[in-house]
Structure 1
């Protein structure tokens, strides 16, 4: 009964109409949405800069490589990396998408950055976002795969420091702010805000003044990403696609090729109509050394894992 109640609670969080946060790949990387293929050569050139394959050809949790033409369900890990200067950075935003074109749905799990789990390849437990600092995208993917016990087929990495260039390239963004706060000398009042790149980055980074902590920050990051997508797809961006593609080329990495993105657009686009956001319930506490961790129970982890396996048609 309790499991069924929690399952129904999660279903109530479904949202219609927001594209598969593939959005970042299919709209951001492909530039300006509907007319992207009219600037095919510029887009293809940009994707040569964004393409960065993994050290493996497929997940160890897959027996066969996914086949787009057969509409196999796929998973994509979105990483928002806070990289400043020479610092390699940490993946402060981790979102796992599982896309099933047959039932036309997407399940999106936001993984709190402070989640304590085994860091695969390091032989110890730590915050999940530290996996990126230890071993880059490859270690992050293996750690998330181990944590949720599902394969990760693709990734999209966005440099949050350079993300302000993308915001500026689309002419700024509009967001609806629900929390009055000040961060790094900038005041953000409640209500509709017009943000340039620098302010958008500050808006998406604050978490300590937010009563929801990292969950509040994740929501603001999703607001900025969706706002960029909306602006990037607007008519006014038609005259500025060069700057947009330059900003994407400088700040986005993915193991998806241009041909794979086109195949996804062809075979998976209808899944955008049914997006369910899944929250990993847990509790936070400080360890004996004073470091804060977010703890997800084995019961919760298993329940979310089973939901994702069902979505990926994994038995």
Structure 2
């Protein structure tokens, strides 16, 4: 997940689910940043019977992509996180889709690693492929250029996590217990995989801990003093199909959901196919996840 996890979480914390508020002196700066971030897409999900209305507190889904973009190269979505938010019971569900997950790439007609969908066809193909994999609608996307990482973490003065396994990584020591991490430490904490006996599953859990920590930081009153720096980083490094009006509606109607976050894993197993490693998810596991998400989104 690398740098993307923290900037993504900051967007959710500060703009989508934070307590933030829209005081007059901040209103126009936020609106301008939202305009810079906005990138509409010509796409209609066939898994929705009608368009969602955040002002009416419809449950929503968000696909968050962390992309390492280079000049003349779209890059791959190294990070794929799905979040569903239900403002009626004030709850969120959040999980990583392992980037090596083997699935059909919608628009290409063959199976491949799910994170290749973005490289092949951009946001639209990534959203279509995730929709097909999970059999749920994806309403919004947030794409993050991972270069924004350090600016955002520094702007919130770091994050606090409860670390359950002591380890060393990239020159940093992470003892068990409550840790206050700066930008460099948080990056290393979220990247460690091979030293963890759980591999990707352990790394994913640490990534979600950081997301929850930044949501809490973003929702704190003290964060209002850091908004200018945060907005500058967001405007340069984030794209989303959320409009400013939708952000306001979500901030107003969905913000309490951050207090009740359920995280879980996509269970599967590794397999080599033609010399390439894939993460294989059974149909039974996909059905269980789909049922959980459809219930949360109030769709049949």
Counterpart of 2:207 in structure 1 is: 221
- 1:99 is aligned, of 82, 85, 91, to 85
Is it true that 1:302 corresponds to 2:282 in the alignment? Answer: no
Is it true that 1:313 corresponds to 2:298 in the alignment? Answer: yes
Is it true that 1:143 corresponds to 2:129 in the alignment? Answer: yes
Task: Name the SS of the counterpart of 2:147 in structure 1.
Answer: coil
Task: Name the SS of the counterpart of 1:314 in structure 2.
Answer: coil
Offset at residue 146 of structure 1 (A): 0.5
Structure 1: which 5+ residue stretches go unaligned? Answer: 1-21
Offset at residue 103 of structure 1 (A): 4.0
Is it true that 1:55 corresponds to 2:42 in the alignment? Answer: yes
Is it true that 1:157 corresponds to 2:149 in the alignment? Answer: no
Query: Structure 2: how far apart are the matches of 1:102 and 1:241?
Result: 28
Offset at residue 305 of structure 1 (A): 1.2
Is it true that 1:117 corresponds to 2:103 in the alignment? Answer: yes
Query: Structure 2: how far apart are the matches of 1:312 and 1:165?
Result: 34
Query: Structure 2: how far apart are the matches of 1:270 and 1:231?
Result: 14
Query: Structure 2: how far apart are the matches of 1:23 and 1:160?
Result: 12
Contact 1:32 1:237 in 2 (8 A): no
Counterpart of 2:179 in structure 1 is: 193
Query: Structure 2: how far apart are the matches of 1:171 and 1:277?
Result: 25
Per-residue Cα deviation, 1:145-183 (whole angstroms, up to 9, x for no partner): 010111111112233332221001222223333333343
Matched ranges for 1:1-315 at <5 A: 24-29=10-15, 33-38=19-24, 39-56=26-43, 58-83=44-69, 87-289=73-275, 291-315=276-300
Offset at residue 101 of structure 1 (A): 3.1
CA shift in 2, pair 1:113/1:174, >3 Å: same
Offset at residue 208 of structure 1 (A): 2.2
Task: Name the SS of the counterpart of 2:242 in structure 1.
Answer: coil
CA RMSD, 1 decimal: 2.7
Query: Structure 1: how far apart are the matches of 2:169 and 2:142?
Result: 27
Contact 1:161 1:201 in 2 (8 A): no
CA shift in 2, pair 1:237/1:300, >3 Å: closer
CA shift in 2, pair 1:86/1:33, >3 Å: farther
Per-residue Cα deviation, 1:53-98 (whole angstroms, up to 9, x for no partner): 1222x31222321123433322111223344676533222222222
Query: Structure 2: how far apart are the matches of 1:90 and 1:216?
Result: 22
Contact 1:29 1:245 in 2 (8 A): no
CA shift in 2, pair 1:177/1:86, >3 Å: farther
Task: Name the SS of the counterpart of 1:96 in structure 2.
Answer: strand
CA shift in 2, pair 1:182/1:271, >3 Å: closer
Query: Structure 2: how far apart are the matches of 1:203 and 1:226?
Result: 14
Structure 2: which 5+ residue stretches go unaligned? Answer: 1-7
Contact 2:10 2:218 in 1 (8 A): no
Offset at residue 274 of structure 1 (A): 3.8
Contact 1:93 1:113 in 2 (8 A): yes
Counterpart of 1:18 in structure 2 is: none
